[in-house]
Structure 1
Amino acid sequence: MRTLFFKSPSPSPSNSPSRTTAMLPSSPRHSFSDSLMEENIEIAEALITKWDSDSGSTSYTAVTSIFYDDRQEARLYLKSVGDLQSAMQHFLISQTTSAEKLIRAQNLMQSAMKRLEKEFYQILSDNREYLDAETVSSRSSRASTRTSVSDQDSESEDESRVATESVDHISWVAMSDLKSIADCMIASGYGKECVRIYNIIRKSILDESLYLLGVEKMTLSQVQKMDWKVLETKIKNWLNAVKVSVKTLFYGERLLCDHVFAASNSIAESCFNEISKEAAMTLFGFPESVGKSKKLSPEKMFRVLDLYQAVSDLWPEIESIFSFESTSAVRSLAVNSLVKLGEAVRSMLEEFESAIQKETSKTPVPAGGVHPLTRYVMNYLTFLTDYTEVLTDIVADWPLAISTPLPEAYFGCYDAEESQLSIRVAWLVLVLLCKLDGKAALYKDVALSYLFLANNLQYVVGKVRSSNLKYLLGDYWVEKHDSKVQQYAANYERMGWTKVFDSLPKDPTAEISSDQARIYFKRFNAAFEEAYKKQTSWVVMDPKLRDEIKVSVAKKLVPTYREFYENHRNGIMRACGEDSLVRYAPENLDNYLSDLLYGVASGGSVSSFSSSSGSSSSSHSRGRQGR
């Protein structure tokens, strides 16, 4: 560079130092830098003046955009502004130029910044549909996905992405232009002007998007006063909005801020905080207010759990998106909403337990069927298992506090430190079963009370088996309660059929007189008809249990009766000349038993066969006396 710009003159005598000194610049490097900087100012002035809408240069430049008109010139414009900034800094440090030149440069800089403000605003405004958070976030996702896609994608797949990639391109160009302008303005000391425009436009876009999603600001007082049906609708709207809000709107806004203001982390944080904090506080303030509501009852628990699950599922994204110190209040509010919702769930579980214990109906369920309380509680618990993961979190540090020892059949297999939810659910089932024991005492017939207990416990076990409750309560619990159902069934059989069994001699083949045989037949007829008459109106809801009970009764009754019948029927015929006392053929006892435990009297009742004369249309009449 010295050789090209500072050539030495003709040689002079060595004894003429004054000439040599006069021909060489006093500071070659300094002069070159000055001239270079002055040239930068000249170049910048030409370009800045051309696009200065206030200078009156052309009407065209006042209405168009550098970035739309000539992208190459836009790059030159940004470069010239950067060179202008470098020149100003150079002359300020070196103090080798006049104040007039610095003032001129400063005026040019102000004109340039004014133009860039306009360009920045225009790009933000004109590309609202391409810079929406959904486009930005999805474009980022697709960009990361494409890096792993093979170059051998089929032509049809390429064609299907044309429209999407076109939008991506527009979005990417706009983001790149915004970043270039922001970099330039921040480097020139005009970052505040850039940030002001960005915040105003982007905040309005975010607020509008949330409004369209149905997110609205509500105070705790408003939530407390709201009718449940209205509040439930608000909750549904919020659940639909929160995932889009976090995964798309806030995520996209964070990406855009980080990209546009990549030159300054502090500015990116400031912008994101200004744009999103208020909206995020509105979004997560709603579930916190619901959790604080005083009107929550057990029936409303599932909506509260929906809110808890939504925030819990989104927590990794919330923590990442709002990771700045300035947005820590958003993270705190999200956590606090989980705390309040969890407290509400605990309170509703306690209220649910209390409601079971306080159920006061005194009317026995007809036919010994399943009690409405049993259905309600088990259906409720079944629905709760859809929220096993969040409930496990909620009750993890909420041990069951009871003073009496717990039966091993209910709690012997659970680790209290690991299975608080299992223990809690087992306890609620135990509360229900204890309540059902009290309901069984309302029946005057002891056999029916045991049938009631068998029906209800079988319903409970069936619900456990067919739902996720089986994973909470476990095989041990199911096995123990299955055995309890069989025990109740056996007690029903003992109380309901012992009189019938005892009406026959212990040894049906023993030789007895005709009079004794007549007494046994009469006793059997009376006992069987009494049992049959009652039990045709009783019910066993579970088909498998009903069949098991009938088979068990038949195995104990029919073989004994058959032996007695075959050994003594003919003797009565010879002694009395008629068999009016022998009302039931052994092969037809199964028919009568089949009528039982359906909850309604079926076919012909036993009483219709009390006389030896007449016929009946019932299938049972055709089997009387073996005919």
Structure 2
Amino acid sequence: MAIVEIPRRQTTLTITPRRAIASSIFSLSNSTSTTISSFSNHLPSLIKPSHTMSESMMDENIENAEAMITKWDVKGSSTFDKFTSLFHENRKEAKEFIKCVKDLRRAMHFLVSQRTGSAKLVRAQNLMKMFMERLEKEFYQILSANREYLDPESVSSRSTRISESFSSTTSNDENDYSSDHEIQRAGEKISEVERLSVLAMSDLRLIADCMISTGYGKECLNIYKLIRKSIVDEGLYCLGIKRYSSSQINKLNPNSLEHQIKAWLSAIKIAVKTLLHGERILCDHVFSSSETIRESCFADIAKEGTTNLFRFPEFVAKSKRWPEKIYLLMDLYEAISDLLPDTESIFSFKSVSSVKFQALSSLQKLGDSVWTILSEFEASIQKNSSRIPVPGGAIHPLTTSVLNYVSSLANYSGVLSDIIPGSTSSTQLPFPESYFESPTANEMPTSAVSVRLAWIILVLLCKLDTKARFYNDIALSYLFLANNLQFVGERVRTTNLKCLLGDDWVAKIDRKVKSHAANYELIAWNNVFSCLPVKSQEQMSPETVRAYFRQFIAALDEVYRKQMSWVVPNGKFRDDIKVSIARKLVPVYREFYSTHIETVKGDRNLEVLVRFSPDNLGNYLSDILHGTAESESSSSSQSSSRASRCLL
């Protein structure tokens, strides 16, 4: 599996430099009390004095400790420039160094328990202080020199194997890290980089355990926090995580805000799953001997930066709203929701619980904002007051925008199911029976998301019915409704809306489309149909036949001229309408033509009188409903003879 690289920041950061850290270590060491009473305070309460240690063994331990610390003493060295790490140069002797500390600690406990002379105890205490100064520098050196192998990304990606590697090296206090055998055995299973990471983590834990057990946990912790917090802060910065205030977010224009949100979305997964996860693993391992220190350390390192990380979505949620912002809010919601289990696991300590609460607060604010935008969008449909009819009965811009919006919302059905409260029943959102044709309970959308999206579309359809009344031609108003409902059905059928609304919902829309198309045909073509006799087989005088032909051509030309400016945008739907008209018109005309053409065949104006044969009448209809001529039929006034109808 490829390791995702966290980019290294090239610019100068406000991070404590190594020399400053080194200086702080010296100040910590120099401030350590050398009094016997101070040592007594440092003694761990859980370590009992050894009653089996003889005075000669005690003296031997002190002598060995003095010899060891004299060899590796850092006294007089004020910087790390020429510092030679014991753990790097001679790991075997490093283990002996730690053993000397443990033996010296036993000797000091023996002296305290035997209430012997204070001179030896003072000597032991001074030796212990020197040991701790050395271990402080070793601890700092390992943290600094192994940044490449201790970066959270590496630790996180190898956490499972590294944990397995250490599983056999933590059996008890006496045997922990007693040799390199266990680590070498683990190294056979992992790469060289991973082996170095394992060794560095092993050494840090060894030193931390030693310093904590000797009463110098605070000094060790301060070094760790100084270095690791700078790494976490730098990692967040390199991921593009900035510090924002609510006022700064409000000042961003939509494009700038979208850019910042996308940058945050690109960073959040790496920040949580890699940076913070790795840091928690490292902290838990190094300070595994003390849960209190482990918790305090991780809180100081990660709490501030992570709280800022999760506060950004809340600021976004509270900023000014616009309809398209809902998608960005849902992206943020989904990202936090997906990472919530990881967040709760990483920030399980009580001292960092505020990070979890901030993530949950952001989720709540994002959900509230999404719900508000959804309600405002629905209200904007209802408030749309445009009275200008769309030329030619075409698709209304409101229809296009609403279906684009709702079909995109369908892609977020999983997020919306968490946001939309409860399961909205049909009693809460009553769907008119005229729209659903008295649907049964099984035919109604059941999920809260399905019901809410179906309701928004229903609000649109009701608004379209109102807008259809602004046409002064009843046939055109029906064509307008047929066009728009056909568009609605097609968009639902070809998007994720179909999965939410179901086949029955689409089928009902299709039936409504056919009903509106049939009404259009009936009203628009009724005059043409009525120009031909009902009984074409009856005998007629030539003058009567000429009159029928003239009336038919006149009515046909009028309808043709009018419907050249009408439009059906969908090609298949347009062809279906033309075929339907031709199937009704051509057979009636063919019967009349076949029966009476001979009666007027000798007429001098036959070509003008009879312009179409039955076979080319269909071709004449091919040019209509393309909207190629200027609309003459739209009007802002409603026809007084408009038939009363309800879309829903």
Q: Alignment partner for residue 569 of structure 1, among 590, 593, 597? A: 597
Q: How many residues align?
A: 557
Q: Give the drift of 1:403.
A: 7.7
Report the Cα distance in structure 2 between the residues aligned to 1:30 and 1:205, rounded to whole angstroms.
46
Q: Does the CA contact (< 8 Å) of 1:232 and 1:303 recur in 2?
A: yes
2:59 is aligned to 38
Residue aligning to 1:184: 210
Question: How far apart, CA to CA, are the structure 2 residues paired with 1:230 and 1:141?
Answer: 40
1:324 equivalent to 2:335? Answer no
Comparing 532-541 with 188-197, which one deviates more in the overlay?
532-541
Are 1:437 and 2:465 matched, yes or no? Answer: yes
- Out of 144, 151, 158, the position equivalent to 1:125 is 144
How far apart, CA to CA, are the structure 1 residues paired with 2:529 and 2:469? 25
Amino acid at match of 1:87: A
Superposition pairs of residues 76-475 of structure 1, within 5 angstroms:
76-95=96-115, 97-141=116-160, 165-293=191-319, 295-397=320-422, 399=424, 405-408=430-433, 409=435, 413=441, 419-475=447-503
Q: 1:511 to 1:141 in 2, by over 3 A?
A: farther
Report what 1:542 is aligned to.
570
Return closer, same or farther for 1:31/1:463 CA change in 2, 3 Å cut-off: closer
Deviations 1:141-197, CA, capped at 9 Å, x for gaps:
5658999xxxxxxxxxxxxx99x9232222221111111110111111111100010
Contact kept, 8 Å, 1:440 with 1:450, in 2: the verdict is yes
Q: Measure, in 2, the Cα distance between the counterparts of 1:118 and 1:598.
A: 85
Instruction: Report the residue type matching 1:188 in the other structure.
Output: T
Task: Please report how far the alpha carbon of residue 601 of structure 1 lies from its aligned counterpart in structure 2 after TM superposition.
Answer: 5.3
CA distance in 2, matches of 1:311, 1:261: 29
Per-residue CA distance 1:539-560 (angstroms, 9 max, x = gap): 1122221121111111111111
Instruction: Tell me the distance in 2 between the aligned counterparts of 1:173 and 1:228.
Output: 49
Amino acid at match of 1:329: S
The Cα offsets for residues 457-505 of structure 1, whole Å up to 9 and x where unpaired, read as 1111111111111111111110110100111110111111111111111
CA shift, 1:61, in A, is 12
After superposition, the Cα gap between the structure-2 partners of 1:417 and 1:45, relative to the gap in structure 1 and judged at 3 Å, is: farther
Among the aligned pairs, what percent are the same residue? 53
Relative contact order (alpha carbons < 8 A, sep ≥ 6): 1 or 2 greater?
2
AA in 2 matched with 1:535: Q
Contact 1:277–1:327 at 8 Å: present in 2 too? yes
Residues 452 and 417 from structure 1, CA distance in 2 versus in 1: closer, same or farther, beyond 3 angstroms? closer
Tell me if 1:73 matches 2:73.
no
Instruction: Give the corresponding residue for 1:11.
Output: none
The 8 Å contact of residues 595 and 601 in structure 1, kept in 2 or not, is answered as no
1:52 alignment partner AA: D
Gaps of 5+ in 2: 1-49, 167-186, 631-648
Distance (whole Å) between structure 1 residues aligned to residue 263 and residue 448 of structure 2: 32
Task: Note the C-alpha offset of 1:222.
Answer: 2.3
Amino acid at match of 2:139: F
User: Is the contact between residue 536 and residue 595 of structure 1 (CA under 8 Å) also seen in structure 2?
Assistant: yes
Structure 1 residue 579: Cα displacement: 5.2
Q: Which of residues 500, 503, 506 is equivalent to 2:534?
A: 506
| Mapped partners of 2:165, 2:74: distance in 1 | 42
C-alpha separation in 2, matches of 1:416 and 1:288: 36
Aligned AA (1:258): D
Gap runs ≥5 in structure 1: 1-28, 148-160, 603-627
The 1-side partners of 2:344 and 2:80 are apart by 48
Deviation at 1:327, TM superposition (A): 1.0
What is the CA-CA distance between 1:274 and the residue it aligns to?
Answer: 0.8
SS at match of 2:431: coil
Write out per-residue CA displacement over residues 325-347 of structure 1, whole angstroms, 9 at most, x where no aligned residue: 11110111100101001111111
Partner amino acid for 1:85? R
* CA 141–387 in structure 1, closer or farther in 2 if over 3 Å, else same: farther
Check conservation: 1:215, 1:238, Cα contact below 8 A: yes
Shift of 1:30: 6.6
Aligned letter for 1:117? E
Match of 1:307, SS?
helix
Structure 1 residues 498 and 507: alpha-carbon distance in aligned structure 2, compared to 1, 3 A threshold: same
Alpha-carbon distance in 1 for matches of 2:311, 2:214: 40
**Which residues in structure 2 correspond to 1:485-524 (within 5 Å)?**
485-524=513-552
**How much does 1:531 deviate?**
1.0
TM-score by length of 2: 0.81
Q: Are the aligned partners of 2:149 and 2:193 in contact in 1 as well (CA < 8 Å)?
A: yes
Distance 1:258 1:481 in 2: 60
Output one character per residue of 1:272-311: Cα deviation in whole Å (capped at 9) or x when no partner: 1110000111001111111122x11212111111111111
Name the amino acid aligned to 2:142.
I
CA contact (8 A) 1:182 1:194 kept: yes
Structure 2 CA distance for partners of 1:549 and 1:74, relative to 1, 3 Å: same
Larger Rg: 1
CA contact 1:538–1:598 (8 Å) conserved in 2: yes
Partner of 1:17: none
CA distance in 2, matches of 1:175, 1:146: 11
**Aligned-CA RMSD value:** 2.7
Aligned-partner Cα distance in 2 for 1:505–1:595: 26
Contact 1:121 1:198 in 2 (8 A): yes
